[in-house]
Structure 1
Amino acid sequence: MQLAQTKQCANCPWKVDRNLSKISGYNRENHEALKETIANPNHDVFEQLTSPKIAMGCHYSTDEKLLECVGWIYHQLRNNNLLLRLVLMRSNQIKDIEIDGAQRATFSETLTD
């Protein structure tokens, strides 16, 4: 898998100093539904790998081009998302992941301003 982008957006929900109201077209219900993309490290390996989770897309994604959320990738790699690790194992871009400032520790924190 090759990532479409490796640098975190200025208004990424994972950043501590962002403002959700500045995200064009922000929809709280859609944001809350992304909870399903968060791996649970308390689940066993088989459960994590067979879960129907999807990746969190960047809010700059369009119908024509899906951009991965770099904040989500950073968070999930640090919190043992095994499926994501397997998918990105062959990518040489992991070293290029660039976050911008302090990050939220949990998904629920991304829902607050």
Structure 2
Amino acid sequence: MQLIQTKQCANCPWKLDRNLSKIPGYSRENHQALNETIANPHSDISDVFHQLTSPKVAMGCHYSTDDKLLECVGWIYNQLRNNNLALRLVLMRSDQINNLEIDGAQRETFAETLKD
């Protein structure tokens, strides 16, 4: 997997200082459904395999379009810190991973991204 973007956007839901109402095209229902992209710290190899073969392996950025999926840099940062094994396997050959740019303090959990 090669990342299309490496810089976290200003309205990323993972940022502490963002406002959900300012995220373009924000949908709380779609946001909640992304819980499936969050790694379970108690997962076993079958969970990792499921994540690798699932169509919802990554959280897309809210600037994604039907034609172009942009990865959420805040999500990548959070999941790498929280040992998402499937994501680590997918990004093993990415030379852009060292170029991730996080913008400010981040939320620790997915549940926190749903709060404003």
TM above 0.5, one fold? yes
Any stretches of 5+ residues in structure 1 without a counterpart?
none
The total of aligned residue pairs comes to 113
Match of 1:103 in 2: 106
Match of 2:34 in 1: 34
CA contact (8 A) 1:70 1:97 kept: yes
Matches within 5 A, 1:1-113: 1-51=1-51, 52=54, 53-113=56-116
Report the TM-score when normalising by structure 2.
Answer: 0.93
Q: Deviations over 1:8-44 (max 9, x none)?
A: 0000000000000001111000000000000001112
Output the CA distance in 2 between the equivalents of 1:36 and 1:47: 11
Q: Deviations over 1:62-82 (max 9, x none)?
A: 111110000000000010111
RMSD of aligned alpha carbons: 1.0
Moved over 4 A (4+): none
For residue 31 of structure 2, give the secondary structure of its aligned residue in structure 1.
Answer: helix
Any stretches of 5+ residues in structure 2 without a counterpart?
none
